[in-house]
Amino acid sequence: MILANAKGKIQTVLGLIDCERLGFTLIHEHLLSDFRCLMGASEQNSEKALNLLKDDKHLLIKEVARFRLAGGGAVVDVTPLPHLGRDPQGLVDISKETGVHIVMGVSFYTENYYGPCHSDINRMTAEELARVYIEEITTGVGGTGIKPGIIGEAGCSWPLTKNEEKCLHAASITQLETGLPISIHPGSHPKSPMQIMGILKSYGVEPSRIIMGHMEETIPPEEKDLRYELAAAGCYLAYDTFAVPERALPSFARELGDRGRISQIADLVGHGFSQQILISHDSLTNELMHINGGPGIIYIPKRVIPEMRLRDISEKDIHMITTDNPSRVLTIQ
């Protein structure tokens, strides 16, 4: 393994840290990002488009500092590769100013977001794509020395495209060579997570190195058996859209609300899967920021954790979900 000297550590944008230092962690966020590609070319400067542009690190410093005051220790920024606004130096500045550990991702998102990278991804093999990821992980992004600590979020559609499967292969090669975990954005179909698990496992990735994101918007509430099957397969299950506006979610997820998400978490805890659950906000837009009147990334520590206690999720399990599980999965193995 090429990161053998880093084994047992977590790779943050400021360097390697002992896993015990991570603390309360949000596993799936977008601190600095640019998703204006969701809008048409003529709408790039519209209010809706600018809501998708998060590039003011000074505002984000204030936002992350609030999270620190609320007991937060770390944020995982899984903004995909360059044209979606990933900003390594900005993340370094935020981490230095706030004292919050930041783990940065490396991956391509779903194929409809490849943008200027599309022709390169069409042309490159999985091995060549993996070299791109591994170069960043081992030497840093673009000569900055700032290194990703997670492979993701790896974007998948339903049905999965050939390029997306190739990127999963690249992620698998990278995982096996570096020991970093893979964070997955599954396709919008209940069967997508298990399909992805099968592909990653076929390339040799251990389920315990996989984070399956967006549980609440991928598997409908009534499909309990699918959740149990996925958990039994051994991956981590991320409930990572707390406080996301209902309009941005599938119809069945809009009806869940916090209580529905927490009910699913409590059910999984009751079935013995507390060591595989992760939580976060997927904070993609400016309107979600506390400084702009939104819930902010303090929403989970301030609102969700108290609700979890009311649902009889124990302090031990809450600590497991917010601290122990993130530390375990992010540790280089």
pLDDT digits (tens, 9 = 90+) for 282-292: 999 999 999 99
8 found inside a domain:
no
147 found inside a domain:
yes
| Helix residue spans in 76-183 (DSSP H) | 88-98, 118-123, 126-139, 162-178
pLDDT for position 228: 98
Give residue 207's identity as a one-letter amino acid code. Answer: P
pLDDT for position 263: 97
**Each residue's pLDDT tens digit, 208-262:** 999 999 999 999 999 999 999 999 999 999 999 999 988 778 888 888 889 999 9
**In terms of Cα–Cα distance, which of 332, 304, 331 is closest to 322?**
304
Cα–Cα–Cα angle for 69, 279, 220, rounded to 5 degrees:
150
pLDDT bin (cut points 50, 70, 90) of residue 1 is: confident
Select the more confidently predicted residue: 51 or 44. 51
| Host H or E run for residue 269 | helix 257-270
Is the pLDDT at 3 greater than 90, yes or no? Answer: no
pLDDT bin (cut points 50, 70, 90) of residue 322 is: very high
| CB 147 within 8 Å of CB 197 | no
For the chain, report the end-to-end CA distance as a whole number of angstroms: 9
CATH number where 51 lies: 3.20.20.140
| CB 27 within 8 Å of CB 185 | no
pLDDT for position 49: 85
| Host H or E run for residue 59 | helix 57-69
pLDDT for position 99: 98
Mean pLDDT value across the chain: 95
186 found inside a domain:
yes
pLDDT for position 41: 60
13 found inside a domain:
no
196 found inside a domain:
yes
**Integer angstrom CA distances of residue 11 from 8, 155, 189:** 10, 22, 32
Select the more confidently predicted residue: 164 or 37. 164
What does the alpha-carbon distance between residue 172 and residue 329 come to, in Å, rounded to a whole number? 15
What does the alpha-carbon distance between residue 322 and residue 319 come to, in Å, rounded to a whole number? 5
Per-residue pLDDT, averaged over 158-170, amounts to: 98
**Where would I find the beta strands (DSSP E) of the chain?**
9-12, 15-18, 24-29, 33-34, 53-54, 72-77, 101-106, 150-155, 182-185, 210-212, 236-239, 277-279
Dmax over CA atoms of the chain, in Å, equals 53
Please state the pTM of the whole predicted model: 0.97
30 found inside a domain:
yes
What does the alpha-carbon distance between residue 121 and residue 280 come to, in Å, rounded to a whole number? 30
5 found inside a domain:
no
pLDDT bin (cut points 50, 70, 90) of residue 42 is: low
Tokens 């179909």 appear where? Answer: 189
177 found inside a domain:
yes
State what percent of residues in the chain have pLDDT above 70: 99
Q: CA 50, 54, 57, 59 torsion: positive or negative?
A: positive
What does the alpha-carbon distance between residue 110 and residue 153 come to, in Å, rounded to a whole number? 9
State what percent of residues in the chain have pLDDT above 90: 88
**Each residue's pLDDT tens digit, 297-313:** 999 999 999 999 999 99
Domain count, the chain: 1
Q: Domain range spanning residue 126? A: 24-330
What does the alpha-carbon distance between residue 30 and residue 281 come to, in Å, rounded to a whole number? 9
Is the pLDDT at 97 greater than 80, yes or no? Answer: yes
What does the alpha-carbon distance between residue 12 and residue 16 come to, in Å, rounded to a whole number? 6
